[in-house]
Structure 1
Amino acid sequence: MISVLNNQITTIPSPNSLNYPKTSSQEATINIIWNKTYGGEFIDVAQSITKSSLGGFALSGWTNSSGAGDLDIWLLRIDNNGDPIWNRTFGDYEEDKGFEIIESSMGGFAVAATTKNTTTFQPNNDISVIRLADNGNLIFQKNYSGPEQNSTSLKSDLGRSIVECPNGDFVIAGVTGTAVGASDVYLFRIGANGLVKWERTYHHWDNERCYTPHSLVLCSDGGFAIASYTYEVSKSNDVWLIKTDSFGIEQWNYTYGVDSGYERPESLVQCADDGFGIMANTQSFGAGATDAWFIRTDALGNQIWNNTYGGTEEDGCNQAVLMSDGGFTLVGSTHSFDLGNGDGWVIRIDSEGDILWQETIGDAYGNGFTSFIYLGNNTYVATGSTYSLGSTYQDLWVIKFYVDISETVPPSNGIPGYDLYLFFSSILFCMILLIFKKKRASYS
């Protein structure tokens, strides 16, 4: 049973103690249009949201409040006011999770998911692709394993991100286990009927993973880019960006990070100059335990700039969206600037990574954003999870809000009234100089 609640959510003024590249140049006030939670007695979370061309939104995640098993893939469609249109669960008695959801040009939706395969020698994970019609009816659900998997394999495959090609094919990115016990980034293409056309794996150090939704993009040249991470025992985790052609053949790859550090990507966008924006999180540098980390590259993966955002505690962002001015909006969660137990976090940066504005949204019980859509006119719909008073488990959370923005002029040198001081000082200096010249003229 799905229940819908209207939470009492608070918007928190922008903190003024952030470790930002510069002082915010805009003041932002968030106006909540509506906010709702969905779920039952146990865990209900969202990983991705997409806009429906028929109106409203579709979401993917997982639940163990309903369905057949421990966790089940949970797909929902809601209208423009956040009211449910339908919800569907998919899975068996083991864990099954939905990740990225996209709207298909052929109608309906496509979902990259992970499902537990219980027909093998020992249950392990497979990648699952689900195609739904606009009314929620199932078109197909097909499961896929990597090239080194078989019926007695103990390795797992994980589905995370999905894009649609112009001809109606789908390309899916995730992880596949290898025979030597490691993992590789896995990319494969299927037709509209779900049949595999080609598959590729990518290896760099010891273990490589494409682990999050929104980490695969269809590039302007028809190829693909994958935001993943690579792990080496002596170097820990680095962000790993892979660029391929339209057949998945690697063209180049770059790693970003520091030796013996921890950096992992969360999402990827391609920019107007064909470069990329990588939303990541880092524990290696920044202000606190974990910080949001944004990397801007050129079209060949060379880093142009990078910035971290956060305070002294756990902070991170899960998705970035490219804006029309070349900047980006980032969403995630913060423990440095929250009311308690974490709050949803929205950051707007310009094309150089400097903060334009940032706000937190939440209550004292714990909230966080995982995915969002920009609707235009400073209006957003974001999803994630939230706790309520006395609850042990999360509910799926969707909130629609408008951001009222006003420009601010920071005082010069950070001193209030400094510009006014300079103005009157200049006038006084000119008056003294004029008097001095008149006195000299009277003596000559």
Structure 2
Amino acid sequence: MRRRKAVLHFLCASVAIVVVLFMLIPAHEWRAGASGTGEANGEVIWNNTFGSERYDRGPSFQHAGDGLIIAGWTQSYGAGDDDVWLLKTDAYGNEAWNRTFGGKESDKGFYIQSAGNGYMIVGVTYSYGAGGGDLWLIKTDLYGNELWNRSFGSTNYDKGYCMQKAPDGGYILLGITYSYGFGKSDVWLIKVDESGDEIWNHTFGGSEPDVGFYVEGVDDGYIITGVTYSYGAGGGDLWLIKTDLYGNELWNRTFGGASDDVGNAVVHTPDGGYLITGETHSFGAGKNDLWLLKTDAAGSELWNRTFGGDDYDKGTFIRRTVDGNYIITGMTYSFGTGKNDVWLMEVDASGKERWNSTFGGADYDIGFHVQQADDGSYIITGVTYSFGAGGGDLWLLRYVAPTITPDDGSRVPGFGFSFFIGAVLCMLLLKRKKF
């Protein structure tokens, strides 16, 4: 009898230990893939293409009243080889109107900002200016009618990639200049007033090509990302430059290996640091991977992550979401259905992937810009060769992401069931004592 009692106590204790061990194992070790990593099952609410049989694209957009305002360029419409293209849509992505700007040569728009009673577009013009391609700034009213335009540059090639509202008023323009600076091409930062008149400009670079792709205003200045061939470890390195409000450099940092590594967009994070997305040929799994790099407020690296397969993948734009995560768009040759697809990915504040989705057909499709809508969905603009009228059309999509419950280690799947089974076994075993 004593032996049977000891056996019963041993069995009950064993069941209790198993249940406790179940509780101690972190949830993420049981829930492989439950964080949403992998291709997501969200929903495309709508998508629209704009253009005709030639090449048309829209690399930048902003929310505008009851719809969107998109800037880019078109070969299908307008006066020249390429014309700056301004397109207004309603809330469902349907065209309300469009305007073209340019002369008989190539003119392109790369970035748009709302500007009080209208819009400002920055890009490049070969039709006007001093020659060789000038940085071009266009101001319109709310209906896309031109109010004025300004060109910046000299006889060599000069181009604008990005612009933002300046924290102290006016606008900041970022691009590349072969006309000024130290080397073959330099990062170019220009401050203008509300009328587009230059207040100051600064160049950054060495003897080799250096390019700035994105600028963001912060309280005490500006943060710039791009690529430098003048400095760093070799090839082209991701370049991060911090300036004061007057464009004077405070510091710069390079990141990369022996091959080409590029920063395409940067966002200021709540901890005072910066999160950059771009592409790396030096690190990762394939020929080129999407690269995500986090720094502190002084530009020192905290961590970096690569995403991709065995082919060419990159990140083109990043924004912070309302729930404190980050949304990235770009392109992938490694995943999806076609030659390359639009790639959309959400990561948490530590760079861990929450989900990703691809969009596209049998041909080439690329995502350039993403923003979150008021309802939490995402709007992406890019270019598609798979759909539309042909030749590469401006592509606009609205996507509702999957709902992801993050793993925090506090819940263990199956624990309730395991506890129930353990309790029942103990009761049955103890009942047998009566016999």
Scaled by the length of structure 2, the TM-score of the pair is 0.83
Structure 1 partner of 2:324:
326
User: Between Structure 1 and Structure 2, which shows a larger proportion of strand residues?
Assistant: 1
**Residue of structure 2 in register with 1:29 after alignment:** 41
In the alignment, which residue of structure 2 is the partner of 1:187?
A: 189
2:372 and 2:98 map into 1 onto residues whose CA distance is 23
Q: Which residue of 1 aligns with 2:357?
A: 359
**Residues 24 and 356 of structure 1 are in contact (CA less than 8 Å); yes or no, is this contact kept in structure 2?**
no
Report how far residue 119 of structure 1 moved. Answer: 6.4
List runs of 5+ in structure 1 lacking aligned partners.
Answer: 1-21, 412-416, 439-444
Shift of 1:377: 3.7
Residue type of the partner of 1:135?
Answer: Y
> What is the Cα deviation at residue 24 of structure 1?
6.0
Aligned counterpart, 2:299:
301
**Alignment RMSD, CA only?**
3.2
Offset, 1:157: 0.7
By how many angstroms is 1:390 displaced?
10
Q: How many residues align?
A: 398
**1:45 matched to 2:57:** yes
Structure 2: distance between partners of 1:408 and 1:250: 40
- The AA in structure 1 aligned to 2:112 is I
1:112 is aligned to 122
CA distance 1:350–1:410, shift in 2 (3 Å)? closer
Q: In the superposition, relative to structure 1, how do residues 110 and 32 fare at CA in structure 2: closer, same or farther (>3 Å)?
A: same
SS in 2 for 1:273: coil
What residue identity is the alignment partner of 1:137?
N
Partner of 2:69: 58
1:128 maps to which of 131, 136, 140: 136
Distance 1:271 1:390 in 2: 37
Report Cα offsets for 1:86-128 as digits up to 9, x if no partner: 2111122222111011112x121111111115665xx411000
What secondary structure sits across from 1:320 in the alignment? Answer: strand
**Could you tell me how far 1:391 is from its partner in structure 2?**
6.8
Equivalent of 1:230, from 228, 231, 239?
228
- TM value normalised by structure 1: 0.82
Report the 3-state secondary structure (helix = DSSP H, G, I; strand = E; otherwise coil) of the residue aligned with 1:287. coil
Residue 31 of structure 1 aligns to which amino acid in structure 2? E
Aligned pair partner of 1:141 in 134, 149, 157: 149
**Distance in 2 separating the partners of 1:330 and 1:394:** 22
State how far apart, in whole Å, the 2-side matches of 1:34 and 1:419 are. Answer: 39
For residue 114 of structure 2, what is the amino acid of its counterpart? E
State the shift of 1:205 in Å: 5.2
AA partner of residue 403 (structure 1)? A
Query: For the residues of structure 1 that align with 2:294 and 2:73, how far apart are their CA atoms?
Result: 32
| Counterpart residue number, 2:344 | 346
Residue 172 of structure 1 is matched in structure 2 by 173
Structure 1 residue 376: Cα displacement: 3.9
Cα 1:71–1:24 shift into 2, 3 Å: farther
> Which residue is 1:162 aligned to?
163
Change (3 A) 1:280 1:24: farther
Contact preservation (8 Å) 2:183, 2:206: no
Q: 1:404 Cα shift?
A: 3.0
Q: CA deviation at 1:64?
A: 0.7
User: SS of the residue aligned with 2:402?
Assistant: strand
User: Aligned residue for 2:96?
Assistant: 85
Residue number in structure 2 paired with 1:4: none
Aligned to 1:316: 314
> Residue 40 of structure 1: CA displacement?
1.1
- Offset from partner CA, 1:381-422 (integer Å, 9 cap, x none): 1110112469761000001121231437799xxxxx9977x9
**Contact 2:225–2:263, Cα closer than 8 Å, also in 1:** yes
- C-alpha distance 205-355 of structure 1, shift in aligned 2 (>3 A): farther
Q: Which residue of 1 aligns with 2:84?
A: 73
Between the aligned residues of both structures, percent identity stands at 32
1:404 aligns to what SS in structure 2?
Answer: coil
| Contact 1:73 1:97 (C-alpha < 8 Å) held by counterparts | yes
**Quick check: 1:217 aligned with 2:223?**
no
**What amino acid does structure 1 have at the position aligned with 2:192?**
I
- In 1, Cα distance between equivalents of 2:363 and 2:208: 39
Asked whether the 8 Å contact 2:53–2:390 carries over to 1, the reply is: no
Question: Contact (CA 8 Å) 1:276, 1:297: kept in 2 or not?
Answer: yes
Describe the shift of the 1:119–1:364 C-alpha distance in structure 2 as closer, same or farther (beyond 3 A).
closer
Q: 1:272 to 1:205 in 2, by over 3 A?
A: farther
Q: Take 1:276 and 1:164, find their aligned partners in 2: how far apart are those partners? A: 19
Aligned counterpart, 2:245? 246
- Amino acid paired to 1:190: V
